[in-house]
Amino acid sequence: CTPTKQEKMYKIIQELLHFGLIRPSDSPYAAPAMLVAKHDGTWRMVVDYKKLNNITIKDNYPLPNIEQVIQLLSGGYNFFSKLDMKSGFCQILIKEEDKFKTAFITPNGLFEWNVLAQGLKNSPPSFQRVMTDILSTCRQFSLVYIDDIAVYSHLFEEHLNHLTKVLPALFKHNFQLNPVKCSIFHQQIDYLSHTISEHGVKPTNEQVQAMIKLRQPTKLPEANKFLGALPHKFEWGASQSQAFSQLKQLLITSPLFLDFPDDNYPIILTTDESEIGIGGRHNCLADYLSRHPIQNNEEIFDEDYSISMLFQGKPPETVHAPVNHPPVIGAIVTRSKMKQIQQQQNENDKITPPTVNDIPSSSSKDKIKHSNKSSSHLITSNNFDITQIKLEHRTKKPDRLNPIPTPKGPFQLICIDYCGPFKPTPRGNQYVLYITDYFTRWMTAIVLPDCSAQTTAQTLFNNYICQYGVPLAILSDQGTHFKNQLMESIAKLIGYNHIFSSVYHPQSNEMIERFKAIFVPQIVKLQDLGNNNYDEFLSPVVFVYNIGIHATTKYSPFQLQFGREPRLPTNEPSSSITFNKPNDYYVQLKKNLLIIQQHARDNIIRR
């Protein structure tokens, strides 16, 4: 230690003695003390308690999970306050019988701590326990990570009320804050190396600048140092260098708000099929891919069922794609399945190629003739006397398909059509007007006495537009009840585009035709069972359809329409009813609708 550092050390020791943080010691323990330069050019004394920590019984009081803390603060709060303890560890006393264990040696003598020391294994959990107990009554609006306290609120008055509870709790136990590092009534704070605001969470500018200033490794030690900070190892080459530069550019130009999983929605994990475990590539995520799922109530998607149908005919030849990384689990599967495979082979019949044992005498000459090398069998099919061949050249090449563009939301495009006439009901109804939303597949069925243009216009306006609003477009056939001057005038007056399908081409409005194919048999059944009172029972039939999962969207029309599942008569009555705040329910409902409607739109496009 140089004379200059000895003088710095002496001043620090005298200051600690003056404030009563340390005292002279005659302890048999002696941890080495040294000086470390701060960013502002001043010096800090640190003590190496490595040997003491090795024999210390660990305090397992948990520290808050940083990811969970940041996720909680990203909940759309508007006001934040950050409180920093002034030399936090120095505000907690050590038991008298344990002080001798903290002794440290310096050029000026042997000393021991009266307060909690930096570097001790159990200092962070001990401090965390104290702070958690003190602020236990404020846990609904405050977070504490060792000596960093964050208070969060939605409204200004609410935040003021929260601070009037947190600050007295600290002052009651004589804890002091560092006003220089405290931030009060801010709409954006830096907490645990993250910038937090009402818009979300993103890395601090210091972290971004550190990544931008990070030089691309040019030497082997630099590359090893960089790769050691990554989750898994890989080779460094030209593509990695390009990705390194692109990453730095994205940090400058792109928004860096972080997102977290929402427990209110299901988490979908797409894996390959296996009776043993989950398949992983390159073993990069072995921390969870190597473990079995905790729950067995998985949901199986049968979209690959069509592929399995190929194996029901003639046994195909299986060709495996080349794999650069042979799975390690292959050997395990082989050993575990070997007995089962051997048993199946013993039970199955032997496979032998077909052979001709006896040839009729009448066919002997033909057999010899066609077996001759001079028989000139260049194309086998040309030598068949009678055959049925699929003539590909006679097949007309199909024209380019022009599917209807997928709407971006509900009630933008609706399809309408009539079904009937049926046998008149006692109320004189004999037609059914079907109205279907192209996006949600929400079905509306209205029984009518006739299908005139006036009835169609009145029903469409009163029973649909006044309930769901004006759509952007309506798709129908060119029947006189749809294509007339009255409907044209209403379209111009209200402001929607009326699209007509091709003449004698029901495929143009295929969706409504499919619905008719479903509902017409139901109406016929209702006619037989209800004394032709099908108009009284049609609404339950439509309701059952609207709550069923649609094969294309993978959601029920009811869920895409209202953002929730319906409550049915078969549901058990709830013992308690919870009423959410209207604003909270609106935010959650809007978020839910955006997610499921985007999933439904993707499913429609893939279909």
487 in a structural domain: yes
Last residue of a domain, one of 198, 215, 243: 198
Tally of structural domains, the chain? 2
Task: Give helix 238-253 / helix 205-213 axis angle, nearest 10°.
Answer: 150
Distances in whole angstroms, Cα of residue 516 to Cα of each of 12, 89, 139, 236, 418: 89, 75, 58, 61, 9
Least confident of 89-103, 429-443, 536-550, 574-588: 574-588
Both tokens assigned to 198? 């009402």
Looking at residue 12, its pLDDT comes to: 92
| pLDDT value at 377 more than 50 | no
Both tokens assigned to 195? 């910038």
For 256-287, give the DSSP string. Answer: --B----TTSPPP------SS----STTTTHH
Looking at residue 141, its pLDDT comes to: 92
CATH number at residue 59: 3.10.10.10
| pLDDT value at 592 more than 70 | yes
pLDDT tens-place string over residues 76-135: 889 999 998 888 888 899 999 999 999 999 988 999 999 999 899 999 999 999 999 999
The overall average pLDDT reported for the chain is 77
Last residue of a domain, one of 173, 198, 223: 198
366 in a structural domain: no
213 in a structural domain: no
Q: What distance in Å separates the CA atoms of residue 93 and residue 100, rounded to the nearest whole number?
A: 13
311 in a structural domain: no
Q: What distance in Å separates the CA atoms of residue 372 and residue 375, rounded to the nearest whole number?
A: 5
Task: Name the pLDDT band for 296 (thresholds 50, 70, 90).
Answer: low
| pLDDT value at 424 more than 80 | yes
Q: What distance in Å separates the CA atoms of residue 540 and residue 557, rounded to the nearest whole number?
A: 15
% of the chain residues with pLDDT over 90: 20
Q: What distance in Å separates the CA atoms of residue 131 and residue 147, rounded to the nearest whole number?
A: 8
Task: Name the pLDDT band for 600 (thresholds 50, 70, 90).
Answer: confident
Looking at residue 503, its pLDDT comes to: 72
Q: Which residues contact 541 (CB under 8 A, 6 or more apart)?
A: 445, 519, 522, 526
Of these ranges, 74-78, 230-234, 431-435, the one predicted with the greatest mean pLDDT is 431-435
Both tokens assigned to 29? 């323990």
Task: Give helix 453-460 / helix 485-494 axis angle, nearest 10°.
Answer: 20
Residue 333 CB: number of other CB atoms within 10 A? 14
Last residue of a domain, one of 198, 221, 250: 198
553 in a structural domain: yes
| pLDDT value at 376 more than 50 | no
420 in a structural domain: yes
Check: CB of residue 494 under 8 Å from CB of residue 470.
yes
Looking at residue 566, its pLDDT comes to: 84
CATH number at residue 426: 3.30.420.10
Q: Does pTM surpass 0.75?
A: no
More confident residue, 39 or 298: 39
Helix (H), strand (E) at residue 4 = helix 3-18
User: In terms of residues, how long is the chain?
Assistant: 607
Of these ranges, 327-331, 527-531, 583-587, 599-603, the one predicted with the greatest mean pLDDT is 599-603
30 in a structural domain: yes
| pLDDT value at 276 more than 60 | no
Check: CB of residue 471 under 8 Å from CB of residue 415.
no
Name which of 450, 455, 443, 446 is nearest 421 in CA terms.
450
**Residue ranges making up the domain that contains 159:** 3-198
Q: What distance in Å separates the CA atoms of residue 433 and residue 422, rounded to the nearest whole number?
A: 12
Give pairs for 324-328: CB < 8 Å, separation 24+: 325/281, 325/282, 327/279, 328/283
| pLDDT value at 542 more than 60 | yes
| pLDDT value at 569 more than 60 | yes
320 in a structural domain: no
